[in-house]
Structure 1
Amino acid sequence: MGATVGLVVNPAAGRDIRRLVGGASVSDAYGKRRTAQCVLAGLTLCDDVEVLVMPDGGNLGQRLVADADAPDGGSVTLLDMPVEGDGRDTRRAAERFAEEADAVVVLGGDGTNRDVAHTVEDVPVVSVSTGTNNVVPSAVDGTVAGGAAALVATGVVDREATTARHGMVEAVARTPTGEKHLRGLATLGVVDQQFVGTRALLDADTIVGGVVSRASPSDIGLSGIAGGLSVHPFDQSGGVAFRVGPVESSPESVRAVTVPGVVERVGIEAWRRLDDEEAFSFDVSRGVLSVDGERELELSEAAVDVRPVADGPLLVDVEAVYDRAAREGYFSTER
């Protein structure tokens, strides 16, 4: 059965300041292009796969299409869309994929996957880590990721059995100038800083608190702090909320990886598990809201309600895809 797979390659992922001041991994243009080529190779695991590639400001997608060998019975073409060189490109491409694709492979970090999640609707997403400080994407080989996308897109494996919905987090800030809204994929935090600046969240001492849709002590940043309090799988409804305080006077503290290369003890003034749509509130006299490790929205004299919501993207479980395909005999052929 023929199918269409969308491919997003974010040229900016893995290039923020955290790779310079901390231990974050680096993903350059060459590495992303090689990973994307591996994705195309993996897509040949199934016949008749059409590939739509997002164009981008770094010309990675354009070069990928120009150099590509089309899979048997398929094609590799560039998505016809304007390019602005920022996250709007990813959202615009994901909106097209929602209409035209049977699965999407995303090469990027948490921010790229958040942009995809806003508009991709119910198209299954295979997320490959090429960003700096990743919670959502997996460190999976591009060839394996492409094969998983092909198996899901063509219906070789059952989509319902091999995908799970990731939650999201949304904030409503009531300010003197009106309401402001922001949505994150894995984390949404309040930071005691006045300006967005370099965006990357670098200093745990500036964290006021946050709400996460997933939590594990093996994660980095806000979801790692929350994971020291309560493990919360990404496909479980609700989330975890916490408020930070001084280590020496807070009733509880956790040891967490706060940024790549940094382990700190963080004081916890209060925390609780949240159901979907249950709000956790912050009063912000002056500060910034961060989403998925990046500072996004400057606020002053604001009352902020942050809540987990259940309408995130469908993520493909790569291991489950291959396990199911193998059990159903897809890979073996008898003479």
Structure 2
Amino acid sequence: MTATVGLVVNPAAGRDIRRLTGGASVSGDYEKRRTAECVLAGLAIADDVEVLVMPDRGNLGQRLVDDAPDGLPTSLLDTRVTGSGEDSRRAAARFAAEADAVVVLGGDGTNRDVAHESGDVPVVSVSTGTNNVFPTAVDGTVAGGAAALVATGAVSREGTTYRHGMVEAVADTATGEHTIRGLATLGVLDQQFIGTRAILDADTVVGGVVSRAFPTEIGLSGIAGGLTVDRPDEAGGVGFRLGPAGECPQTVRAITVPGVVDRLGVREWGELAVDEPMAFELPRGVLSVDGERELEIREATIEARPVADGPVVVDIDAVYEQAAAEGYFRTD
């Protein structure tokens, strides 16, 4: 039986303002295409695999289909193209019904769009964005191989995949109730406008809730990671409230944007169970998800919490370890 692997390549990933104002990496179309070609090559590690590629405004998907390796059935997903995050969501919804695994090339925003619709299909995420917490910096060939091994059932999902959490906020505002969801981080910001979307000044962060925390991560999950460690495969998350360093009982040092280390005042923080809320009140501000400002609010009471129904993520190292232990790569 042939296994289907979906491929999402976001041509817009890795191009926001942080590459100009800080040390964020840049990923152009050439790099994305070369990485995607490596993904297709890596799928040859297993037999009987076909590929469905998301179409996009930059025609990266079409070129990948045209130049696909011999013997690898590769076709373009028949879906509408808008040049927005809806493309990734629409493709993920189709893959949830038609694919056995999905490979995503993009940053936190692209993976958030996929996570909203991917359901129980295992996701292999390759970092090609600007400021990434969720996706992995991994060779495309290795990523493609992992997707093929999971999709074909050459390795068991048990022990090689896990359910990643998400974060959600419900804001009761002057204009009604609004709900917003993020994959790794949700921030409450003392800013009036969405503007350039990227969070460039940590002093504007009132607080936040994250589904994962580690000090090597950048942004809100790195701030929380300076307080405690919450691994991606662990349920729940961390909530924190910040303030001026001289007025707070604690401070934390964190990498807040690429190339910037800040010391921030911490009013309070705590580990949160799944669906346990942390409340914020803001006369006017902005809510961010996964490092991007998304929703302007005023006269708002906000309840932010970690939630459990995130994407199924492939642990690439665990996949190869299990395959090797079972002799998959050996031939007698």
1:62 to partner: Cα distance: 1.3
Query: Which residue does the alignment assign to 2:125?
Result: 127
Aligned sequence identity (%): 72
Paired residue type of 1:180: H
The CA distance in 2 between the partners of 1:246 and 1:157, in whole Å, is 50
Query: Which residue does the alignment assign to 2:14?
Result: 14
Unpaired runs of 5+ residues, structure 1, are none
1:271 aligns with 2:269: yes
Query: Which residue does the alignment assign to 1:38?
Result: 38
1:63 to partner: Cα distance: 1.3
1:198 aligns with 2:196: yes
Paired residue type of 1:8: V
Match of 1:85 among 83, 86, 89: 83
1:277 to partner: Cα distance: 0.4
Query: Which residue does the alignment assign to 2:61?
Result: 61
Paired residue type of 1:40: L
Query: Which residue does the alignment assign to 1:146?
Result: 144
Q: Which runs of 4+ in 1 moved over 4 A?
A: none
Query: Which residue does the alignment assign to 2:51?
Result: 51
Alignment of 1:294-305 (within 5 A): 294-305=292-303
Query: Which residue does the alignment assign to 2:329?
Result: 331
| Partner SS state of residue 280, structure 2 | strand
1:126 to partner: Cα distance: 0.3
1:184-226 CA-partner distances (Å, limit 9, x unpaired): 0000001111111111111101111000000001110000000
Paired residue type of 1:124: P
| Partner SS state of residue 89, structure 1 | helix
The CA distance in 2 between the partners of 1:5 and 1:103, in whole Å, is 5
> Normalized against structure 1, the TM-score is what?
0.98
Alignment of 1:211-290 (within 5 A): 211-290=209-288
The CA distance in 2 between the partners of 1:279 and 1:58, in whole Å, is 41
1:279-333 CA-partner distances (Å, limit 9, x unpaired): 0011111100000000000001111100000000011000000010011111111
> Normalized against structure 2, the TM-score is what?
0.99
| Partner SS state of residue 40, structure 1 | helix
Match of 1:175 among 173, 176, 185: 173
Paired residue type of 1:277: D
| Partner SS state of residue 263, structure 1 | strand
Alignment of 1:150-169 (within 5 A): 150-169=148-167
Query: Which residue does the alignment assign to 1:3?
Result: 3
Paired residue type of 2:98: E
The CA distance in 1 between the partners of 2:131 and 2:265, in whole Å, is 22
| Partner SS state of residue 11, structure 2 | coil
| Partner SS state of residue 299, structure 1 | strand
